[in-house]
Amino acid sequence: MLRRQFTIAVAAIGIVALQTFGASAQEELKIGMVVPLTGAGFAAVGKQVVPAARLYMKHHGDTVAGRKIQLIVRDDAGVADNARRIAQVSHEQENDTVRLSDRVTRIADIAQRNRSGAEAVTATAHGQAAALAGLEGATKELRDVAGYLGDLAERITSATSISQRPAAASRNGVHSS
């Protein structure tokens, strides 16, 4: 019976450790220990296993692959069904965490693409604003040129009408002296 519970506890530790191994290097590596800490008969064993694991970590270090180890200890009260249930809940929570992490990663990817798109729109808007400013400048210059041409046309018309007056007067028989 003790061997069976120890096997279940080690299996639970393995499940939690394997599922968290794919997490990023900054996250803690969570290792679950489901051991009998209360209940009849096996509590003494569980109360020795947990300190033994902590002592091992103290002597050999509490990091693996650059990740700090966090022990999560749960009491199964010496009942195999409790150990199975705790391991199952831990497994489900880890699956939920992985799914949530995947969704957050997808959302971050979408946000990055949207940011890139927004930056492209901003760059286009800046380009269009510069083009509009250039167009406004060209429009002002065209108005100035049109005004100059209007003045020039008036002067030419005035000069032509003045030079044609004496010619018209001489045709009518009037000479200017």
On whether residue 136 sits in a domain, the answer given is no
Helix (H, G, I), strand (E, B) or coil at 70: strand
On whether residue 46 sits in a domain, the answer given is yes
Nearest Cα to 33, choosing from 97, 88, 87?
87
Average pLDDT over residues 75-84: 86
Average pLDDT over residues 32-39: 86
Q: Which residues contact 32 (CB under 8 A, 6 or more apart)?
A: 12, 13, 15, 16, 17, 72, 73, 74, 86, 87, 90
Q: How far apart are CA 104 and CA 101, in angstroms?
A: 5
Q: How far apart are CA 31 and CA 28, in angstroms?
A: 9
On whether residue 67 sits in a domain, the answer given is yes
On whether residue 14 sits in a domain, the answer given is yes
pLDDT at 177 over 70: no
On whether residue 168 sits in a domain, the answer given is no
* Residue 169: predicted pLDDT: 54
> What's the pLDDT band for 58 if we cut at 50, 70, 90?
very high
Q: In what order do the strands lie in the sheet with 63-64?
A: 29-35, 67-75, 63-64
> What's the pLDDT band for 55 if we cut at 50, 70, 90?
very high
Q: How far apart are CA 4 and CA 35, in angstroms?
A: 11
On whether residue 26 sits in a domain, the answer given is yes
On whether residue 49 sits in a domain, the answer given is yes
How many domains would you assign to the chain?
1
* Residue 5: predicted pLDDT: 52
Average pLDDT over residues 71-85: 87
Query: Residue 45 belongs to what domain range?
Result: 2-116
- Class of residue 87 by CB neighbours under 10 A (exposed 0-12, middle 13-18, buried 19+): buried
On whether residue 7 sits in a domain, the answer given is yes
